[in-house]
Amino acid sequence: MSVSKFAMLIAAAGLALTAAAPAAAESIAPVEVTGRAATTVTVPVRGLTDRQVRQVVRVAANHVCRNAVANYELDTFDQDWCASRTMDRTLGEFQALKRSGASQLAWVNLTITAD
């Protein structure tokens, strides 16, 4: 291999490395990453009896309210109040859906959000 071919090969390799190199950041900003527990959950109620829906909603309401306490969005002493209020609101929405038409219940999902 001649010196000129070797020089061209080195130059081409340098260009390839330069093109593949990531752009340098002009400034570095702090990044804050916080893990949060979910305070909203969606549960399917298709084919469930009223009693089963009540049980699923009760468990989900307790779960999202416990997560709200873990996220410091809610005081520990308010967890039971939150679960009760969330359950009552969600079951009220479910009863309203039932009254509006039973055919809609075949595809209904209830979204439970901590109050």
2-57 tens-digit pLDDT:
656 656 656 666 655 555 555 555 777 777 666 788 889 999 888 888 899 999 99
Asked if the structure places residue 13 within a domain, the reply is no
Asked if the structure places residue 32 within a domain, the reply is no
The distance from CA 91 to its chain's CA centroid, rounded to whole angstroms, is: 23
Torsion of CA 85, 89, 95, 96, to 10 degrees: 160
Asked if the structure places residue 81 within a domain, the reply is yes
| pLDDT for residue 108 | 73
How many domains does one find in the chain? 1
% of the chain at pLDDT higher than 90: 36
Q: For residue 47, is it left (φ>0), alpha (ψ between -120 and 50) or beta?
A: left
What is the spatial distance between Cα 112 and Cα 103, in angstroms, rounded to a whole number?
A: 22
Bridge partners, residue 40, by sequence: 113
Asked if the structure places residue 25 within a domain, the reply is no
Q: What number is the average pLDDT over the span 79-86?
A: 94
- Please tell me the pTM assigned to this model: 0.66
CB under 8 Å to 59, separation ≥6 — which residues? none
Asked if the structure places residue 14 within a domain, the reply is no
Quick one: which of 75, 46, 40, 78 has its CA closest to 60? Answer: 40
Structural domain span for residue 106:
40-113
Asked if the structure places residue 98 within a domain, the reply is yes
How many other CB atoms are found less than 10 A from the CB of residue 79? 17
Asked if the structure places residue 21 within a domain, the reply is no
